[in-house]
Chains A and B, each alone.
Chain A
Amino acid sequence: MTATSRETRKAILGISAFYHDSAAAVLVDGKLVAAAQEERFTRKKHDSSFPINACRFVLGEAGVRFEDLRAVSFYDKPFLKFERLLETYHAFVPKGFVGFASAMPVWIKEKLFMKRLISRHLAELGVARVPVYFPEHHLSHAASAFYPSPFAEAAIVTIDGVGEWATTTIGLGQSSEISILKELQFPHSVGLLYSAFTYYAGFVVNSGEYKLMGLAPYGNPLSVRTADFREKITTELVDIRGDGSIVLNMDWFDYATGLKMVHEEKWEKLFGVPRRKPETEISQVYMDMALAIQLVTEEIVLRLARTAKELTGCRNLVLAGGVALNCVANGKILKASLFDGLWIQPAGGDAGGAVGAAYAVWHIHDGNQRGITSSFDAMSGSYLGPEFSNKEIRRTIEKHGAIARCVDDFQELAADIAGKLAGGSVVGWFQGRMEFGPRALGNRSILGDARNPEMQKKINLKIKYREGFRPFAPSVLEEDIEKFFELDRQSPYMLLVTPIRAEKQIPLPEGFEEKGLYERLYFPRSDLPAITHIDYSARIQSVSRETNPRYWRLIQEFKKLTGYGVIVNTSFNVRGEPIVCTPEDAYRCFMRTEMDYLVVGDYVLDKKDQPKLIEGADWPAQFQLD
């Protein structure tokens, strides 16, 4: 880069922190150059601490010098959030005193002085006297949905638990402008409603929502109980308005002031079943409950999408916020054909707020124009994290005395690994830049053969060490999507769920719905059993040759061998562990599990050849179960 071009650079650092999924992102002259979640560096899942490591990485990756840094943008407004806390406690007083008393010290000591707190952390990186801005939480989400999207104009819907006051917004994005047209305010929250059921089903809030969504298809759609649950939810817990706004009956919920999500004894009376104890067996009643709340959520989301269409008249829709990660609901929006174009921010949760906060300052505060130059979005496939050279990889291999084979002809490497996958092996696949957002998209992934009827069980139980019911997603060559799935467009970020093509579905035997979870699960439902969920759906990642040529090539080689341009892709981690970031993380995860091969850059490691990894048997204790 020339000295002249360096002089003209303007960088904006976006930060999300202190709630869950802290992250940092950097824009240089309006272009998103790097983004990463703090958890990947600290190895603590959903780490909420100040993202000092992520800041260090993004600034270093972008080559940002102090004089380049125009501003720092934090993803919400602490004072407004504090106002919400105070008003909430005041409204419910004397209830909630314990929660109030436990929340106040950290607010009074730190969070109310966020500018000072951020400046202090940035000083550790050598950054001083930079303006700090605070766009609203949902404006950050809206900006993360619209600005990197491929659309010049779009309706914007953001839905999550809560930011300051807003829990849902509908907006309009036009060129460089965003207008927030409507908003739903706390405590009425689609995200918190879903989290309440996540809690009641025995999963961890802000983490287990994905499991609840994965559990829902096991619910019996024809049962009286599922219908009864749905009826109870919509008459007792939530009033759903025509426009998609909701009113929650706070008599049933404890999150506004308490330390729990719901009043358990009341819920037990209403639903006739106690809260499921975490880690216990999941009985059918919780699956029916999961299905009921999933259907209610889809109804709300669809109504909001319709309202967004009516308010804006736009042909395109963009989504962000934690609820935008509900890819089943996203699939329903697509199916409703309300919009021609649909784009969802791949880091839809709070981590993506860092990206949006930076964009909000660049376009809204500073007034810089937005240029749409191609049909591609500006997320670079979400490959925005760190990458490692073969030299760095070699250093890790040597450190562990590992046995590795270097294959510098990638065509040969891809053909070799495709053969191993087709032969039933499970492969850890570590290439290029780490993904930003919760999904592994072929750079930090564990791969397997989607045709193999044993693969789902093997990866869940022997590699991920997670609940056996959880489904796996396919990575499919972009050009082969319609061959396998009812989907007429790309899904690069694994955020759309659609059915397997009808002709690929194997009819279910009579009485299937009454069978036990695992009997149903292990009944092959298509010729791609490892990625076909119980209701014939799949959460699709389409792989583009342009965006990820190495991953595309690997699947292409698999197709040459098998006729199937589709494989299983799950994140490279064990349960409770953040997705691997470095070659060291990858090697450890590989050695701790029953993965057969590890491919890191150009190096191939065969499990059979490796020396024993020396560490205590208590390594799983490092990772809190999610």
Chain B
Amino acid sequence: MGDWAKRRMGDARVPNSSAQADEILLRRPPDQVRNME
């Protein structure tokens, strides 16, 4: 599994720490969300 997939899949394991919280609730670039094309 590549890094991108690990990030997306969270490596499919329940982590014990809350250190990754911000990686889970991601901040998205506003332009990306608002693009409707």
- Chain A residues near B (Cβ < 8 Å): 73, 87, 90-92, 133-136, 139, 165, 170, 179-188, 235-239, 241-251, 307, 360-361, 364-365
* Contact of B5 with A90 in the complex, beta carbons under 8 Å: yes
In the bound complex, CA of A251 to CA of B10 (Å): 12
Q: Closest chain B residue to A181 by CB distance?
A: B27
Q: Count the A-B residue pairs with Cβ separation under 8 angstroms: how many?
A: 83
Q: Pick the contact of B10 from A180, A188, A236 — CB < 8 Å?
A: A188
In the bound complex, CA of A187 to CA of B16 (Å): 18
In the bound complex, CA of A136 to CA of B9 (Å): 21
* Contact of B36 with A182 in the complex, beta carbons under 8 Å: no
20 contacts between A and B (CB under 8 A): A87-B4, A87-B8, A91-B1, A91-B9, A134-B36, A134-B37, A135-B36, A165-B8, A179-B30, A182-B25, A187-B9, A237-B14, A239-B14, A244-B25, A245-B21, A245-B25, A247-B24, A248-B10, A251-B12, A365-B36
- Count residues on chain B whose CB falls below 8 Å from chain A CBs: 24
* Contact of A241 with B27 in the complex, beta carbons under 8 Å: no
* Contact of B5 with A247 in the complex, beta carbons under 8 Å: no
How distant is A155 from chain B, measured CB to nearest CB, in Å? 14
Give the residues in chain A near B37, CB-CB below 8 Å.
133-134
Q: In the complex where A133-B37, A238-B14 touch, is A183 in contact with B5 (Cβ < 8 A)?
A: no
Q: Pick the contact of B33 from A87, A136, A185, A186 — CB < 8 Å?
A: A136
How distant is B36 from chain A, measured CB to nearest CB, in Å? 4
Mark contacts of B1-37 with chain A using CB atoms, 8 A cut-off: 1 yes-contact digit, 0 otherwise: 1001100111011111010110011111010011011
Q: In the complex where A180-B28, A180-B33 touch, is A91 in contact with B5 (Cβ < 8 A)?
A: yes
* Contact of A183 with B36 in the complex, beta carbons under 8 Å: no
* Contact of A364 with B34 in the complex, beta carbons under 8 Å: yes
Give the residues in chain B near A244, CB-CB below 8 Å.
25
Give the residues in chain B near A136, CB-CB below 8 Å.
33
* Contact of B12 with A249 in the complex, beta carbons under 8 Å: yes
In the bound complex, CA of A251 to CA of B27 (Å): 27
How distant is A270 from chain B, measured CB to nearest CB, in Å? 13
In the bound complex, CA of A347 to CA of B15 (Å): 35
* Contact of B12 with A360 in the complex, beta carbons under 8 Å: no
In the bound complex, CA of A18 to CA of B20 (Å): 34
* Contact of B30 with A245 in the complex, beta carbons under 8 Å: no
How distant is A306 from chain B, measured CB to nearest CB, in Å? 13
How distant is A368 from chain B, measured CB to nearest CB, in Å? 14
Give the residues in chain B near A185, CB-CB below 8 Å.
8, 24, 26
Q: Closest chain B residue to A244 by CB distance?
A: B25
Q: A180-B30, A235-B14, A243-B21 are known; give 4 further A-B pairs, CB within 8 A.
A: A239-B16, A242-B21, A247-B20, A249-B14
Give the residues in chain A near B13, CB-CB below 8 Å.
249, 251
* Contact of B4 with A184 in the complex, beta carbons under 8 Å: no
Q: In the complex where A139-B33, A180-B33, A364-B34 touch, is A241 in contact with B21 (Cβ < 8 A)?
A: yes
Give the residues in chain A near B10, CB-CB below 8 Å.
188, 247-248, 250
Give the residues in chain B near A134, CB-CB below 8 Å.
36-37
* Contact of B36 with A241 in the complex, beta carbons under 8 Å: no
